[in-house]
Amino acid sequence: MQDRTNNLPIGIFDSGIGGMTVVRAMARLLPQESIYYFGDTIRCPYGPRPLEQVRRFALQIGHWLDQQQIKLLVIACNTATAAALTELQQELDIPVLGVIMPGARAATQATQNRRVAVIGTKATIESGLYAESIRTLDAGITVFSTATPLFVEIAESGLKLDRNPVETFMSRLTSVYTRPALQEIARDYLDPLKRCQVDTLVLGCTHYPLLRPLIETIMGPRVAIISSADEVAADVAGLLRRRELFNDGSAPATRQFATTAVDLPEFMHLATAILGHVVDRVRQVDLTELGA
Ligand code: DGL
């Protein structure tokens, strides 16, 4: 039984542009679904902030998106998932999904030697939620977690420098943007994890899929790389199927964007680069409108 709810968009939010990697994965898997994306660029990064503060931001955005009429909410930010998934599930009447459990589940399925690494922001790693989720699924897995906060900066600044589609940026990343200093940062972060002989690495931040070629090069071909963006898209598909919430196709799929960013042309450029189609309309949302 379908009703008008089925035609509502899926709400997705992140601290900035990282959640666009989730939009991209979702648009590939579920092209018939409408999406309403919110990027809290003015308060990005969330990673170095206390979880309590991130929780407040996430609740403001979750309620705002809910008021725009969405059928489902995806917290496309690991930090905000760690801070506010439970609260948003309690406070909203729509289903709410985070990115941590899907990534944790994929990691338990991928590992052969049961040694898994997780990288993420300081707040995500300190929350311990990835390790807890992985060990809930398989208590025998050893989890090695490392905060890699500079990766957010590297991804953002690389994208800002490059005026090309993100695929070009990604394929040229190691030769063009990864100056020795950046290579060194990545090696400093990842070499200790390699020495732990992990066979699986979870990209526990939605910005990190943008750095995948760099991370893969350092980790080598024997390490499976798990992107929570792809995993959550698959989970959304499963949830829409179970709840019979698929768009019935009576209206074309739409893509709406809102942000707290001050520099809208830059936000549109970054969105265009990641999504591979032109984003030329973005709603600017003032923090007071969020109730901040
Ligand atoms: N994209 C966010 C995440 O997945 C991190 C970026 C930030 O620090 O705001 O955790």
CATH number of domain containing 251: 3.40.50.1860
Residue 3 CA, ligand 1 centroid: distance in Å? 35
Which of 228, 245, 271 represents a domain boundary (last residue)?
Answer: 228
Residue 184 CA, ligand 1 centroid: distance in Å? 21
Residue identifier of the C-alpha nearest atom 7 of ligand 1: 45
Choose, from 25, 77, 193, 232, the residue flagged as catalytic: 77
Ligand 1 atom nearest 77 alpha carbon: 4
Instruction: Give pLDDT, residue 1.
Output: 44
Does 117 share its domain with 91? no
Residue 71 CA, ligand 1 centroid: distance in Å? 24
| 236 in Cβ contact with 70 (< 8 Å) | no
What is the spatial distance between Cα 204 and Cα 102, in angstroms, rounded to a whole number?
11
Mean pLDDT across 259-278: 91
Does 141 share its domain with 162? yes
Ligand 1 atom nearest 228 alpha carbon: 4
Number of domains in the chain: 2
Which among 13, 36, 16, 264 has a CA at the least distance from the CA of 156?
16
Express each pLDDT in 99-134 by its tens digit: 999 999 999 999 999 999 999 999 999 999 999 999
Express each pLDDT in 14-45 by its tens digit: 999 999 999 999 999 999 999 999 999 999 99
Higher pLDDT, 266 or 199: 199
Does 62 share its domain with 131? no
Does 37 share its domain with 136? no
Q: Is 44 a catalytic residue?
A: no
For residue 144, count other CB atoms closer than 10 A to its CB. Answer: 17
Instruction: Take residue 1 and report the two structure tokens written for it.
Output: 């039984």
Does 44 share its domain with 150? no
Does 221 share its domain with 244? no
Single pTM value for the model: 0.93
Express each pLDDT in 169-217 by its tens digit: 555 555 545 455 677 888 999 999 999 999 999 999 999 988 888 899 8
Range of the domain at 148: 100-228
Which of 228, 250, 268 represents a domain boundary (last residue)?
Answer: 228
Express each pLDDT in 148-170 by its tens digit: 988 888 787 777 766 655 555 55
What is the spatial distance between Cα 220 and Cα 2, in angstroms, rounded to a whole number?
47
Does 84 share its domain with 158? no
Does 94 share its domain with 193? no
> What are the pocket residues of ligand 1 if the criterion is a CB atom closer than 6 Å to any ligand atom?
14-16, 18, 44-47, 77-79, 121, 124, 152, 205-207
Does 116 share its domain with 202? yes
Does 91 share its domain with 236? yes
Does 48 share its domain with 134? no
Q: Is 196 a catalytic residue?
A: no
Report the residue count for the chain.
Answer: 292
Does 70 share its domain with 82? yes
Choose, from 8, 205, 215, 233, the residue flagged as catalytic: 205
Residue to probe by mutation, ligand 1, list 121, 126, 259, most atoms within 8 Å of CB: 121
Instruction: Give pLDDT, residue 154.
Output: 79
